[in-house]
Amino acid sequence: MLELTAALYRKTGHWAPVARQGGAATADLLGRVLAEQLAGAVAGMDTSRIKRNFVVSTMLDLPFTSGWLNWADIAAATRRYGPELPAFDNLITGYECASWGYCLRYALKELEPGDQIALSVLDINVMNISYWQSNPNWGNSGFGLATIVLTVGRENQVECHMAKSVNAFGEFCLDLRRVSQQQPDVILVPPYFPRDIAAMYTKIVPEAQRTENLVDDWGHCFGADPWVGLIEEVVRGRNWQDTTYFATSVALNGYWTYAKLRLNPKGRFALLHDMAVPTVEEAA
């Protein structure tokens, strides 16, 4: 089974003051926060075990499609700010909020038990685009960066699904019920949604088999929700050391994912202080 070895989350607002300086300044700062947070997550660890290191995002698609941002520039910045860190491999946005699960599916094909995977869930509204602030489909957004390290076990359960109908969210919720019935001892960590939307799963998955919908505290944090949820288990002093979890995420266009995992009792799990919106001077 996968083991969550480290998970850090840092909330931030929009970065429009940086974005006004252009794509190069934004790429530099994104590389810097990615590197700094990964350094915090892996401090004291033998990083040679980290064989893959992906950045995933839901909302940072158009800046790349337009060429305003380039992954190569961000990767170069991560090397400048964290030359000792495992190299950042690539950016994956195509599966939206479920991108982390598709990365795991892909990486697990080439990894051995004991190997590690780092994932950075990067959803910062760098250009302050209003579409991403809030939306009837997911309510208010929570922006930030989740950095996680997973250790590969012997039998790893990662599922990636694709909806068959137009009602992807409904299919996802029914699938949550299926999983909760098949493995009742595993606690589901569902994504955060406004209560009237989350009702589709809160009504059919017993409360004792899922973590709380902390949408009022966090908003919808895209692919970071389950990682925030797992850190919250530790922070709120739940019985996490004796629990097996399913981290889950769903994408609006109909992709969803699960990863079965336990938390390392000696792991590093923390909600970091909010990241101040960078000033223009810092980015220059």
Interface with another protein (CB under 8 A), residue from 2, 119, 168, 259: 168
Per-position x/- string for 46-85, each x denoting binding to another protein as judged by CB under 8 A, each - no binding: ---------------xxxxxxxx-xxx--x----------
Residue 161 vs 238, nearer CB to another protein: 161
Identify the residue among 43, 80, 90, 206 touching another protein (CB under 8 A).
90
Backbone region of residue 190 per phi and psi (left: phi > 0; alpha: psi in -120 to 50; beta: other values): beta
Interface with another protein includes 29 (CB under 8 A)?
no
Beta carbon nearer to another protein, 22 or 114: 22
Q: From the centroid of its chain, how far is CA 202?
A: 22
Q: Name which of 175, 147, 141, 137 is nearest 42 in CA terms.
A: 147
- Does residue number 118 form part of the binding site for another protein (CB under 8 A)? no
Q: Does 174 bind another protein (CB under 8 A)?
A: no
Q: For 9-36, give one letter per residue: b (16+ CB within 10 A) or e.
A: bbbbebbebbbebebebbbbbbbbbbbb
Nearest 5 degrees, angle CA 13-CA 117-CA 277?
10
Site for another protein, rule CB under 8 A: 14, 16, 19-20, 22-23, 61-68, 70-72, 75, 89-96, 102, 105-106, 109-110, 127-131, 160, 162-163, 168, 252-255
